[in-house]
Structure 1
Amino acid sequence: MTLDESSLQAKYDLVKLSVLTSTQISTRTSAVLAKFSRPGDETENSDPTTTPARVGNDNGKPVIVALSAKPKAASKLISIVEISKRELASTKVKCFQYNALGSDIVEIERKSKKGDDESESDEAFETMGAVPLSEKKKRSMPVMTIYLAITPVRELRIAYGEQT
């Protein structure tokens, strides 16, 4: 079941973060924890892991952080989420996690086949009006998205289940 994120944005402060293979775990973890810290608590020397979590942002909407990653960075995504949950738990903040698996359509280059050389045996199997193959092919690439919130989110629980 897919979820319409525009309906979430109407009720919640939805913050989308992507995780790549080049993303540093510590910086992305700090960014996640900073989204859950109270406004006014952020000073230059404050550590986001020690500031208490907030229920809402400046406009009163509860915060949801959505972290997305492609297959090569999925393990890094899971590490970031687990570290963030551990830091929130150390400050006595209950965290709700919702896992979603989706897909994106991407175009990838076609690989040349071995023995693609024109040989004498291929001439015997010549077809009339053959359609040339395109240079790229479309594939469905899985994408993992993990939603973190410090308040229960009914829409996400119905769509994906809930983990605390």
Structure 2
Amino acid sequence: MPPPQKGKAPTKGAKQILVENAATVNFYRNMALGAASFYAVLTAALYYDSLTTGIIFLNVLILSINIGCYQMMRYISRPIYSDNTQLVDPGLDLNMEGGMGEHVKDIVILSSITHVLAVVSNYFWLLLLLLPIRALWLLWVNILGPWFFQEAPQDTEQDEKKKKRKMRRHHQ
């Protein structure tokens, strides 16, 4: 095991981010298409007679989720070039830990797993309920919880001195 590096952690170059983003978008697009194709072929072959409106709706929902995630990944990782075709900004790094790309990739993974498992049983469609639960959890942890439970600002020494001076002037 190599010794830990000293100093600043290495950063990715713009071209490396650009290449990795393209590979990531293609990988997750192919994952979603593979899961949808797997479901469509097996359902058409084995369960065509038992298709209901609800099942068709859930398929359209998953396809919409995957299309939305694909478009989101393409949008947030869109590179910006200067007039002379120089790369100015490679876009948001989709593979950055804790970033927006990570959440979008998690959605594609969950929807693809749900699509594949739904071939076995329709109860696996319930896995889609994890999406709003996760969204509410992230909303609570990152926005609402800290907002509700933040401590009141503490008075500094200067604020205390100003209050005392004001009180003296007010009483005189």
Considering fraction of residues, name the structure with more helix. Answer: 2
- Do the two structures share a fold, i.e. TM-score over 0.5? no
Q: Which has the higher contact order (CA 8 A, sep 6+)?
A: 1
Considering fraction of residues, name the structure with more strand. Answer: 1
TM normalised by structure 2 equals: 0.24
Structure with the greater alpha carbon radius of gyration: 2
